Amino acid sequence: MPEKIVRTEYSEEMQRSYMNYSMSVITARAIPDARDGLKPVQRRVLYDMSELRLDHDKPHRKSARIVGDTMGKYHPHGDSSIYETLVVMSQEFKKGMALVDGHGNFGSIEGDGAAAMRYTEARLEKFAQEVYLKDLDKTVNFIPNYDETEKEPEVLPVRVPNLLINGAEGIAVGMSTSIPPHNLGEVIDVVRTYIDDPQASVAQLMEYMPGPDFPTGGIIANKSDLPGIYETGVGKIKLRGRFEVELGKRKADKDKLIISEIPYTMIGAGINKLLVDIADLVESKKLSDVVDISNQSNKEGIRIVLELRKDADIDKIKNILYKKTKLEDTFGVNMLAIVDGRPETLGLRGILKNFLNFQYQNTERKYNVLLQKELDKREVQEGLMKACDCIDLIIAVLRGSKNLKDAKACLTSGDVTNIQFKTPGFEEDAKKLHFTERQASAILEMRLYKLIGLEILALEKEHKETLRKIAEYSKILGSRAEMNRVIKEDLAAIRKEFALPRKTFIEDGAEAVYDESAVEVQEVVFVLDKFGYCKCLDKNTYERNQETVDTEQVHVVRCLNTDKICFFTASGSMYQIKVLDIPAGKLRDKGTPIENLSKFDGTRDTILFLSGWENMKGRIFVFATRMAMVKQVPLRNLRQTTGW
């Protein structure tokens, strides 16, 4: 076969290939589907666990088995992404409702990673099994897997808006999604309200779901911004940690300020970073009322204890912590999801609309399957009841038949050609028989004990129940109001069994105010050694060890903690550092490199350190260059140009 060469513009081919790649990442990896709120890897892990029969009441199975099975059958993109997904779905501090019951080390809120998959085990949570995977065979479409050797569900028949309940995070090509988790009970209430009134405004819906509910608790401090976020699907939520105050029971006991809940954004290494930041604030005297810090967190929850001095200003400490640490942070909201194969930013009403349309489709499919099953059952029951009424004729036909085929032909079409009746008188009645194929098969398979009187009564009772179900299912399929009733009742049952109390408090919190100029003024001594390490000593320490300090340090400057240190280099540049930004240290502490505190890179020699405008008022600086150029500069001119 001759070789075929396709000529194309290189830039167009690259653009087309990149667009195909980016859309694949967006729709098949990073962005959740608006219907079930799951990414493909999450959906495949849950479906595989369902196929492995890892029910909530069955033993746990090795995570490595789950990961390998999922990768081999449905998700050939590497085991690390699958295991990470399994781990995250089991972490109650990340998900509004955990979907996997993990057994072993599945990580911690403080950033500890999960153990290797060969050491951990998992099974489905009851919530996932009942709400996410029930009626799979009756509702959603199944599609071929990546190599067309298996079938997998296109989406899972999730019966609650998972996009809201568990939120989502993902980064694709040129776009990302960030949806906060919400409270299950409140989400169900808002769905039921939307079913009753699809035209309800965002403000009306928010009466039932006032805002996100983060599993770490904390405080949402910008309540007034939430309606705009739910309207557009985009915005920023201000999160704060929560404090508790424990007063000392005895005179010798210190009062304690307890950080009991943290912002959702601090999950992981953020807690250790918080402890370091608080320690730095204590060392720099910005938190002078804190005398000790301890992290007493455990599996029961967060508990970071700050021991306070007597008569400490607790409100001031809270404001400093909010202002200077991640105890006040922002959660960027971008409610992006896949709708009809395309990424779309959805507001609250958009999410509810897509979810409800999905529920209508699933409910219709489910009840069509159930209705057909009952219609088939009715057909068989009516055939058996009719056969019981003419059982002598049926027996005569069976006795006169040479094989099963002849007997079935007589039962379905009255064909008596090959029937040799042992007893005369049945031939004419046999010609009138017209059972259906399904009825004839059931009659031929019927056992003789079914002819007992009680069994016949049971058959009639079962037939009445079948007729009732047919009428019920037909009514549901024929009326949107009835379908709404069924969906609402189902949601109410889920709420009753699985709903949890709200954890996150919502308010319009006052702005955290911290005026650094209001810091208690203290005399300190700035010191810098020959290696460029600096620190601040308190006045008493310096005066007790003045001779040692003056001998060992290159620069020693007395100043106030509210001053700025200004220093000049041999090249004529001037740099400034706030004394409050210089870590306090003990006499033998090494200190901090000065280049870490300013733009000074440490490569030029410093020739002069000064501090305090009041101390230098009226002074004149004399500058001289290596070319013997000299000038005088009044200090007030420097202050005007540098802000000193």
What CATH number is associated with residue 398?
A: 1.10.268.10
What CATH number is associated with residue 530?
A: 2.120.10.90
Burial of 632 (0-12, 13-18, 19+ CB in 10 A): exposed
Higher pLDDT, 17 or 323: 323
C-alpha torsion 97→328→218→184, nearest 10: -30
Does any domain span residue 29? no
Which of 91, 113, 138 is at the close of a domain?
Answer: 138
For the segment 250-262, what is each residue's pLDDT rounded down to a tens digit? Answer: 666 788 899 999 9
Does any domain span residue 536? yes
pLDDT at 464 over 80: yes
Per the CB < 8 A criterion, the answer to whether 540 and 523 are in contact is: no
Locate 358 and state its tokens. 């999905």
Picking from 274, 266, 209, the residue whose alpha carbon sits closest to that of residue 94 is 266
Highest mean pLDDT among 140-154, 260-274, 557-571: 140-154
DSSP annotation string for 365-400:
HHHHHHHHHHHHHHHHHHHHHHHHHTHHHHHHHHHH
pTM score: 0.79
DSSP annotation string for 212-231:
---TT--EE-BGGGHHHHHH
Dist. CA 464–CA 277, nearest whole Å:
73
Percent of the chain with pLDDT over 70: 92
pLDDT at 577 over 70: yes
Contacts of 588-595 with C-beta under 8 Å, sequence gap 24+, read 589/535, 590/533, 591/527, 591/529, 591/533, 591/534, 591/535, 592/533, 592/534, 592/535, 593/532, 593/533, 593/534, 594/528, 594/532, 594/533, 594/534, 595/532
Q: Please report which confidence band the pLDDT of residue 517 belongs to, taking 50, 70 and 90 as the band edges.
A: low
Is residue 473 annotated as part of the catalytic site, yes or no? no
DSSP annotation string for 119-149:
T-EEEE-HHHHHHTSTTHHHHS-EEE-TTSS
Same domain? For 317 and 408 the reply is no
Dist. CA 556–CA 536, nearest whole Å:
10
Burial of 505 (0-12, 13-18, 19+ CB in 10 A): middle
Q: Please report which confidence band the pLDDT of residue 612 belongs to, taking 50, 70 and 90 as the band edges.
A: low
Per the CB < 8 A criterion, the answer to whether 487 and 421 are in contact is: no
The pLDDT assigned to 122 comes to 96
Region label for 582, one of left (φ > 0), alpha (ψ between -120 and 50) or beta (otherwise): beta
Q: Please report which confidence band the pLDDT of residue 509 belongs to, taking 50, 70 and 90 as the band edges.
A: confident
Which of 478, 512, 545 is at the close of a domain?
Answer: 478
- Say how many domains are in the chain: 4
Q: Distance between the two ends of the chain, CA-based, in angstroms?
A: 83
Which of 109, 138, 167 is at the close of a domain?
Answer: 138
Same domain? For 304 and 399 the reply is no
Picking from 447, 449, 450, 410, the residue whose alpha carbon sits closest to that of residue 430 is 410
What is the domain extent for residue 312?
A: 242-326
Locate 610 and state its tokens. 């000064």
Same domain? For 364 and 322 the reply is no
The pLDDT assigned to 248 comes to 74
The pLDDT assigned to 354 comes to 95
Q: Looking at the DSSP assignment, which residues form a beta bridge with residue 107?
A: none
For the segment 599-609, what is each residue's pLDDT rounded down to a tens digit? Answer: 776 655 666 67
The per-residue pLDDT of the chain, averaged, comes to: 87
Does any domain span residue 228? no
Same domain? For 599 and 556 the reply is yes
Dist. CA 349–CA 335, nearest whole Å:
12
Same domain? For 374 and 459 the reply is yes
Dist. CA 504–CA 103, nearest whole Å:
27
Q: Please report which confidence band the pLDDT of residue 394 belongs to, taking 50, 70 and 90 as the band edges.
A: confident
Same domain? For 366 and 318 the reply is no
Q: Which residues contact 164 (CB under 8 A, 6 or more apart)?
A: 37, 179, 181, 182, 187, 209, 351
Does any domain span residue 184? no
Higher pLDDT, 572 or 52: 52
Does any domain span residue 591? yes
Does any domain span residue 107? yes
pLDDT at 621 over 60: yes
Higher pLDDT, 4 or 120: 120
Residue 406 corresponds to which amino acid? D
Q: Which residues contact 349 (CB under 8 A, 6 or more apart)?
A: 194, 202, 205
Mean pLDDT of 394-403: 86
- How many other β-carbons are positioned within 10 Å of the β-carbon of residue 290? 20
Mean pLDDT of 284-309: 87
Same domain? For 464 and 573 the reply is no
Dist. CA 165–CA 97, nearest whole Å:
7
What CATH number is associated with residue 249?
A: 3.30.1360.40
DSSP annotation string for 64-91:
HHHHHHHHHHT--S-HHHHHHHHHHHH-
Length of the chain equals 644
Same domain? For 249 and 294 the reply is yes
Same domain? For 460 and 537 the reply is no
Does any domain span residue 273? yes
Q: Looking at the DSSP assignment, which residues form a beta bridge with residue 102?
A: 122
Locate 153 and state its tokens. 């569900």
Same domain? For 457 and 528 the reply is no
Q: Please report which confidence band the pLDDT of residue 623 belongs to, taking 50, 70 and 90 as the band edges.
A: confident
The pLDDT assigned to 456 comes to 81
Q: Please report which confidence band the pLDDT of residue 635 belongs to, taking 50, 70 and 90 as the band edges.
A: low
Region label for 628, one of left (φ > 0), alpha (ψ between -120 and 50) or beta (otherwise): left
Mean pLDDT of 335-362: 94
Three-state DSSP at 295 gives: strand
- Catalytic one of 10, 119, 449, 533: 119
Same domain? For 68 and 129 the reply is yes
Highest mean pLDDT among 59-73, 379-393, 565-579: 59-73
The continuous run of DSSP H or E covering 632 comes out as strand 630-634
Mean pLDDT of 236-261: 86
Higher pLDDT, 36 or 562: 36
Distances from the Cα of 549 to the Cα of 297, 544, 552, angstroms = 41, 10, 5
- How many other β-carbons are positioned within 10 Å of the β-carbon of residue 11? 8
Does any domain span residue 406? yes
Q: Which residues contact 492 (CB under 8 A, 6 or more apart)?
A: 188, 192
Same domain? For 533 and 622 the reply is yes
Per the CB < 8 A criterion, the answer to whether 89 and 98 are in contact is: yes
Distances from the Cα of 420 to the Cα of 398, 415, 416, 453, angstroms = 10, 12, 8, 30
The pLDDT assigned to 588 comes to 85
What CATH number is associated with residue 94?
A: 3.90.199.10
